[in-house]
Chain A
Amino acid sequence: MKIKRTNGEIIFGVVNTAFMVVMAFVTLYPLWHVLMASFSVPTRIMAHRGLLFWTLGFSNEAYVQVFKHPLLVRSYMNTIFYVLVGTGINMVMTFHGAYVLSRRNVYFKKHIMIMITITMFVSGGLVPNYLLISDLGMLNTPWAILLPGAIGTYNMVMMRTYFQGIPYELEESARIDGATDIRILYQIILPVSTPIIAVIALYYGVGHWNSWFNAMIYLTDRNLFPIQLVLREILIQGSMDALEDTAINSSWKAVEETLKYATIIVATVPILCVYPFLQKYFDKGVLVGALKG
């Protein structure tokens, strides 16, 4: 049955569609601007004012310099290291923790749960955390980046909720056959949990990729800096000196103006390439957490 649309509804439909097109444009434009600027000729970008819809001339020199610059390459490698190892630690800790919290008939589970819930509302704060890392001797080591956030409580609770939704019959038969909890975890729970594992790994991965604050307060050795922290120096503090320190030659100086655009693209594109593939999982993942409230 097709219901006839009133004039008002048709007009609304057109306006609404137009609004969505504008939304999409406004969302995309800033990154488009950066992308176009990164491939432009530096001197022309310098003189340019206003919107930018296409490259001004063409030059890929900025990208060549990004991949040649010691500090930029170094920090990019560091970021990849933090993402891979950090997310690995996150997943091992979160996966096992969530399993414990999803078990039935575990006497101390409620105590553990209370202990964890408290930390969602109370935290030590900046200085006590800093003193802890300092006392542990982790200042200026990669551990300061990798360990303090090893478990995201919210992510763990989300994963627990997923585990609780797995039909009990699945593991019951294994239990009758004498499987231990550990075997059940790896051979039954793990294989059916790929969607939640993918989503949570993405959350952690994006978190590590984009993080800079811990690096700023815990690291002074520039060789350990992640790319975001170097980006902060270039973009926010507006200082290209950050690059000067370690530059062997100053060929990047010629492309100074477009170099920052290219760095943004290089630091942002990997993540933007990953997320659409996982999009089908998001809606589920976000929902599970939300329902738990």
Chain B
Amino acid sequence: MAKTSTSPGTKAKSESVLMVRLKDHFKMIRRDIHVNKHIYLIALPMIIYYIIFKYVPMYGIQIAFKDYNLIKGISASPWVGFKHFIKFVNSYYFVRVVKNTFMISFYGTLFAFPAPIIFALLLNEIRSTKFRRTVQTITYMPHFVSTVVVCGMIHMFCASDGFLGVAVANLLGTEAKNLLMNPKYFRTIYILSDIWKNIGWNSILYIAAILGIDQAQYEAAVIDGAGKFAQAIYVTIPGIMPTVIIKLIFRMGEMMDVGFEKVFLLYNEATWQVSDVISTYTYREGLLNMNYSYSSAVSLFNTVINFVLLWTTNFISRKVSETSLF
């Protein structure tokens, strides 16, 4: 349209063509609304929900660039640019929370991510269906236990009179102390309990992927003289690789996103140097210290990093393995 000649006649003509097209379009939309009126009626609550509970808070993100004033409200508060971001980056907490978030995630990826994959592979080698089902049912269970209860049990068992606290003390030959008060143990406790809670549940996906592998591949491998181990290495593992990669992309995208709940329930001032993460810092600054704008800036900083990470890993994965989310 833009490249047509500029003589007045043609212009008028192209404009009228545009008008006709627009009219057709509107007619089409009107018909669509008429035909699908029930669908749109049904969609209305959903749309309203997303606008109010998802988009209005997004509008509120702007307070990260403002000095939020309770009385003036979001829109009327004065703009301050990147003031809060600069303050965060220069603060003592920046290195601490970014590093802790990364480290917990990193160790999580190193240990908690492969655990259900290995578990699924081993479970697949169990011959008795009944035994396999039983183990599955049992290991699903912790997934349904609430975070509060899991952390509550950790508190009780890791206390100086809890069985884990006592066991560690016996092992080291020292006096029993509360393990949660020791910064050395925080990550270990966090990740081990994560594995305990999720290994069974997360393995469902990989078990399903293993079951989805074509049996003919195994038969071919057997004919080629492959034993059980060779079959696992050359058939099963390549067979579940696409699933593993998709999960890994998700995982990488969440690298700087350590959930609030568990850290919050397990940490205390004695371990802050290793346990304070971005989400807990955001909470303390935002809701406890009422630094609304500053907290929003920290949280936005985190969101942007997460998005960049997700996009990057997705991009790399698409180039390298042709598996990607989007």
Contacts and interface: CB of A to CB of B under 8 A. Distances in A.
Contacts of A234: 152
B287 A16 contact: no
Contact of A210 (B33, B139, B148, B157): B148
Interface stretch (B8-16, B105-113, B295-303): B295-303
A20 B137 contact: no
Interface in B304-326: 307, 310, 325
Interface residues of B, number: 88
Contacts, number: 250
B121 to A, nearest CB: 10
A43 B152 CA distance: 20
A224 B252 CA distance: 38
A267 interface: yes
B57 A128 contact: yes
A49 B163 contact: yes
A232 B147 CA distance: 10
Contacts of A106: 32, 36, 39-40
B221 interface: no
A204 interface: no
B49 A150 contact: yes
Interface string A236-262: 101000000000000000000000100
A116 B139 contact: no
A81 interface: no
A229 B149 CA distance: 10
B119 interface: yes
Label chain A's interface by main secondary structure: helix
Contacts of A210: 144-148
Size band of the interface chain A makes with B: 35 or more
Interface in A1-36: 3, 6, 8-9, 12-13, 16-17, 19-20, 23-24, 26-28, 30-31, 33-34
Interface string B47-75: 10110111111111101000000000010
Given A6-B227, A264-B153, A290-B205, A236 B123 contact: no
Given A97-B46, A106-B36, A24 B139 contact: yes
B24 interface: no
Interface stretch (A58-66, A166-174, A274-282): A274-282
Nearest to A183: B38
Interface of A: 3, 6, 8-9, 12-13, 16-17, 19-20, 23-24, 26-28, 30-31, 33-34, 49-52, 93, 96-97, 99-100, 103, 105-108, 112, 115-116, 119, 121-132, 136, 147-148, 150-151, 180-182, 185, 206, 209-210, 212-213, 217, 228-229, 231-232, 234-236, 238, 260, 264, 267-268, 271-272, 275-276, 279, 282-283, 286-287, 290, 293
Counting from the closest, the 8 A-B pairs by CB-CB distance are: A124-B57, A128-B60, A235-B152, A210-B146, A125-B299, A128-B57, A107-B32, A97-B46
